[in-house]
Amino acid sequence: MNRVLKELEIGAGHILQVVQGDITTEEVDAIVNAANAHLQHGAGVAGAISRKGGPVIQKDSAAWVSEHGPVTHNEPAWTSAGTLPAKFVIHAVGPIWGEGDEEKKLRAAIAGSLKRADELKCTSISLPAISTGIFGFPIDRAAVVIMESVRDYFSQHASGIRTVRLVLFDNSSASVFLDLINRQP
């Protein structure tokens, strides 16, 4: 069962929650998948989402790439969520550590995911720590970029999203985000 570890207001009517748990069980409008540009969902968060959501997610992903081409950092794809409790899966491509401009690309992936959620009229969204798994982005740096990107999005856009949940699977990742929040004024 997912557990809210911390909640804070990040602007008028917008709540950010740090959650420890499994993103595939989130009962929100959209969950974000940490995807690759070709939406081949084999391992990590992508593999878990695809396995638990059923074959329709991979089928819809292949159709997206066939129609639109590879997914970019700033323009995430979206599909149905199959049998998951969410309505949509937003497929965000985060950077691979060492390829250059990683922080800029991660900011684009977060902002693009929130923009896509607004386009889909979502009021709630759950995000993982994009790029911190097999893509190798250091969790402490990613936490800063993700938190800043979420705050920046709401300060720059009129958004219908009311709740952003940062869903972290393991204790160590959750601790990094909690420590960051607790250090903020």
- Digit-by-digit pLDDT tens for the chain (185 residues) are 899 999 999 878 999 999 999 999 999 999 999 999 999 998 888 899 999 999 999 999 999 999 999 999 999 999 999 999 999 999 999 999 999 999 999 999 999 999 999 999 999 999 999 999 889 999 999 999 999 999 999 999 999 999 999 999 999 999 999 999 988 76
| pTM reported for the whole predicted model | 0.95
Between the two ends of the chain, the Cα-to-Cα distance in Å is 30
What size, in residues, is the chain? 185
Furthest CA-CA distance within the chain = 46
User: CA–CA separation, 138 vs 121, rounded Å?
Assistant: 32
**Superfamily of segment(s) 3-183:** Leucine Aminopeptidase, subunit E, domain 1 (3.40.220.10)
Name the residue ranges covered by the structural domains of the chain.
Answer: 3-183
User: CA–CA separation, 42 vs 58, rounded Å?
Assistant: 10
